Amino acid sequence: MSDLLTALLGSQELADALHDGDASGVAASLEQLCGARVYPRSITALGGTILFLARRDTEKFLGALVSPGGTGERLAGQTTSVAVDGRDLKLTLAQTGAESAAWLRALLPFLQPQVLGLKKSAGCGDRLGLATPGHIRAIRRSTMAPILAQQSIRENARTGRTPQEVMDDALWGVFQEGWRDGFGADADHLKSTADIDSCAAAGFTFYTIDPGEYVDNEANTAPVDELREKVSALDWNALESDWETTHSQLGSRPIDLGTFSFEIDPEALLRATAKYGRVVAHTVRMYRRLEQVMGEREFELEMSVDETETVTTLAEHIYIAHELKRLGVKWVSLAPRYVGDFEKGVDYIGDLAEFEKSFAQHLAVARAFGPYKLSLHSGSDKFSIYPIAGRLAGDLVHLKTAGTSYLEALRAIGMVDAALFREIVAFACERYPQDRATYHVSAEVEKMPAAIALADADLTLLLDDFHAREILHVTFGSVLHKPEFRERFFSSLRSNEETYYDCIERHFVRHFAGFERAKAERGIQGN
């Protein structure tokens, strides 16, 4: 037995992560014992046990090489006795299911999600449960704090996953890559207290409240008399206030936003209250439920009104922040509905100068009433605005992505299984008219390049086309629910996981690069 293996088996406390060279050597020794490929970065030692993740064909196992009396003896799985350099040890291989995940999570603190606070952060949604290693490889090349378990209730329904499965899939990715620097878990776009309950039970730490259905978009253009009626009809008991108090607090004096003051005129305050009053009341109900079910556990709240019809004005943002703060809500980030269009899977559509001016104003509100982060929802592939947000906000920014990881899965499939890719593209075009209904997209099937005209080697060029990206993006649920696609889809990715990880890493490094450049530019300006 090598000296390093002996030292690891002697570790009672959590041993430091191995350097790549040492990890590869230990992995080779473990592979001889278990007859499976071992992921070197997964190797973890504590309590007289070496834990690792192993793979045979496309199936993965949690492995434990255990000294007599070691912690790993409590792992349920297939156990054999092995003799190594005259020592009698036990080798256990366990299925990577919910039971093993719970056991491992309880044992290793770095596998438990945590709150991230006011660190610049990125939510890396993974609709398939396979992308986390690629996300981590990109995060390692950035200064972003990651949220690695992230999925909305809507996406859970469309992918057939539960909140606990989302958490467990992220855990195995974190373990495989040996990521010990912390991560968050986002229960995304929650609409009801039942959503909160299921996600809290699974251990999520970050809760995105989506009160979009409570936004009164008619208030954006309604005449003043109608606005007064809407405001009068609000549930003022839930808001613990009344219109006169609201006006006295927000409409009778300039609001100090640090670098400038802003005065909300009476009509603008009426519109803000009519438009977002029910939003505030619902968010407060959700927050108080969170406090109840989380108990002593730490959690973070994000409030999102990005998926709504009308832009959030500066006055409306001030109203939301003031009222939430007055009602005792604590939140770490907020996603307004920005100017321009944040369509799924494509770059920002709009005037960049206008976005920069508006973003700077929203940021002033976030600093004055927080500080809290501004969240960029539908944030994937918005490469033109990352440098703006990074330069202005510094760490007070959160990037949220989801579908872009699915698109990179399609890219990987296009590289290894052209026939399957062509079938998915044809099916997606059929499903797009129905599946687009709940997404903000403008792609047209008629304007998408014809896959039949492309050689197999050129198929992935479709993923660089505006129309094809959106069509493929929003049809993910239909594709994954189709049995003849699902098995082949996952088999292709699991059989070619490094291809998928490479696609994910390259794509997310490009995402984070805009924020990194912005940080460098601020440093130069500061000097």
List, as one string, the DSSP characters of 362-426: HHHHHHHH---EEEETT-TT-TTTHHHHHHHHTTSEEEEE-HHHHHHHHHHHHHH-HHHHHHHHH
Looking at residue 527, its pLDDT comes to 44
Nearest 5°: the CA angle 314, 400, 179 is: 140
Rounded CA separation 467/376 (Å): 22
367: left (phi over 0), alpha (psi -120 to 50) or beta: alpha
Token digits of residue 323: 């009222």
Q: What angle do CA 283, 338, 439 make, to 5 degrees?
A: 75
Residue with tokens 């940021």: 363
Residues of the chain with pLDDT under 70: 1, 518-527
Beta bridge partners of 124: 401
Among 216, 152, 245, 220, CA closest to 439: 152
Rounded CA separation 168/174 (Å): 10
Cα distance between residue 310 and residue 306, in whole Å: 9
Name 328's Cβ contacts closer than 8 Å, sequence gap at least 6: none
Q: What is the pLDDT of residue 516?
A: 86
Write the pLDDT tens digit of every residue in 360-395. Answer: 999 999 999 999 999 999 999 999 999 999 999 999
DSSP 3-state helix, strand, coil percentages of the chain (rounded to 5)?
55, 15, 30
Instruction: Give the SS3 label for residue 38.
Output: strand
Kind of pairing, strands 87-95 and 373-376? Answer: unpaired
Peptide bond into 371 cis (omega under 30): yes
Q: Which sign, positive or negative, has the C-alpha torsion 145, 150, 152, 155?
A: positive
Q: 338 exposed, middle or buried (CB, 10 Å; 0-12, 13-18, 19+)?
A: buried
CATH class of 111-401+509-526: alpha beta
Q: Among 174, 64, 44, 48, which Cα is nearest to 112's?
A: 174
End-to-end Cα spacing for the chain: 54
Which residues, in sequence order, are bridge partners of residue 257? none
Residue 249's region, left for phi above 0, alpha for psi from -120 to 50, else beta, is: alpha
Q: What is the pLDDT of residue 131?
A: 98
Name the 3-class secondary structure at 447. Answer: helix
Let me know: does 463 contact 414? Beta carbons within 8 Å.
Answer: yes
CA neighbor of 55 nearest in space, from 72, 75, 74, 40: 40
CA 476/CA 407 separation, integer angstroms: 9
- 514-520-523-527 Cα dihedral, nearest 10 degrees: -130
> Which residue has tokens 């509100």?
365
pLDDT at 521: 65
pLDDT at position 525? 54
Say if residue 20 is exposed, middle or buried (CB neighbours under 10 Å; 0-12, 13-18, 19+). exposed
Residues 6+ apart with CB under 8 A from 425: 451, 462, 468, 472
Q: Are 467 and 448 in contact (CB under 8 A)?
A: yes
- For residue 509, the model assigns a pLDDT of 98
Please tell me the number of Cα atoms within 13 Å of 114 on its side-chain side: 14
Give the count of beta carbons closer than 10 Å to the beta carbon of residue 450: 9
Residues annotated as part of the active site? 188, 302
Question: CB–CB of 432/443 below 8 Å?
Answer: yes
The residues, ordered by sequence, that sit 6+ positions from 353 with a Cβ below 8 Å of its Cβ are none
pLDDT in tens, 114-135: 999 999 999 999 999 999 999 9
